[in-house]
Amino acid sequence: MAISPPFDQVVIEPARRPALAVVWEFARRRPLGAIGAVIIVVMLAVATLASVIAPYDPLAIDFGGMLASPSSAHWLGTDSFGRDVLSRLIYGSRTALLVGFGASLVGAIVGAVLGVASAYFGGRIDLYLQRVMDIFLSFPLIILALALVAILGNSIPNLILAITVPMIPRCALVIRSSALSIREMPYVDAARAAGFRHRRIILRHMLPNVMAPFLIMVTAFVGQAILLESSLSFLGLGVQEPIPAWGLMLSGAAVEFAERAPWMAIFPGLAISLSVFAFNLFGDSLRDALDPRLRTQ
């Protein structure tokens, strides 16, 4: 089941060059990836500094100033409760990154652990784990997430969990296939023969070597998680009012006011697209850069 290209030959070379040079090299050779990275960094900065740069309280209601078009007072206008769209967008980046990184990090970590364990121990453990993964892989992402939200409720931690679960088997699959090839490497055999404990071998030798596919999975999933959250919002199961969140801003009243107050929809839509775009661009380039088979020499 080759959902993503296998990473069986990926081995990270120890970085001997200074970090800055590596970054510069990446930016020069993969301009698209660099653009993505810049957008991600800007997003992170905005999320961190939200309370400093947001001009208004994102929750403050002003019925007198409902649906105001963009002006010098409200750069991106106000929504149907008179809340400042810009401020909600700025605070919304926190929610997006929290859900995006939360789900993808947890999903990729659990997936990586399962994938490595599966590959390393092999035999029955591998067989059973693979069967369980197969089961979860058979559900479409959104359907599993939908069912989980219905069970857990839709607070942000629960949402992260609901988005994480369907991601785990997808990540485990990829990590397992690259871990399998490392397991056959002479030095792992040597470490085993030398009588090192499983834990040491896994932590010292296997994990570092699946870092490349791991990083690729994390970046690829962040975008997916942000999109999935907005789809859940559209179905009324995502982040709930009054929490500022892009998916929520885009899906509810924004649709009804699409023509009368288009700024309510355009800006959160742009924010979602831009951030998902950035993560995909970056992830794509990272994949190319880390997969030696695709290097153009």
Where on the chain is the footprint of other proteins (CB under 8 A)? 1-3, 5, 31-32, 61, 63, 66, 80-81, 131-132, 134-143, 146-147, 149-151, 153-155, 223, 227, 230-231, 234-237, 240-242, 247, 250-253, 255-260, 265, 269, 272-274, 276-277, 280-281, 284, 288, 291, 293-294, 296
CB-based contacts of 72: which residues, under 8 Å, 6+ apart? none
| Other C-beta atoms lying within 10 Å of the C-beta of residue 55 | 11
DSSP state of 76: T
Q: Which amino acid is at 134?
A: D
Give 155's Cβ-side CA count (13 Å radius): 3
Closest separation in Å from C-beta 269 to other proteins: 6
Min separation Cβ 158 and other proteins, Å: 11
Q: How far is the CB of 151 from other proteins (least distance, A)?
A: 5
Nearer to other proteins, 49 or 143 (CB): 143
Residue 72 CB, nearest distance to other proteins (Å)? 24
Nearer to other proteins, 196 or 257 (CB): 257
Task: Output the CA–CA distances (angstroms, integers) from residue 2 to 171, 174, 181, 227, 239, in the order listed.
Answer: 12, 8, 16, 23, 33
Residue 61 or 207: the one with the smaller Cβ distance to other proteins is: 61
**Least Å from the CB of residue 217 to other proteins:** 14
Neighbours of 220 (CB within 10 A): 24
Structure tokens at 100: 């995006």
Nearer Cβ to other proteins (181/231): 231
Rounded distance between C-alpha atoms, residue 147 and residue 167, angstroms: 14
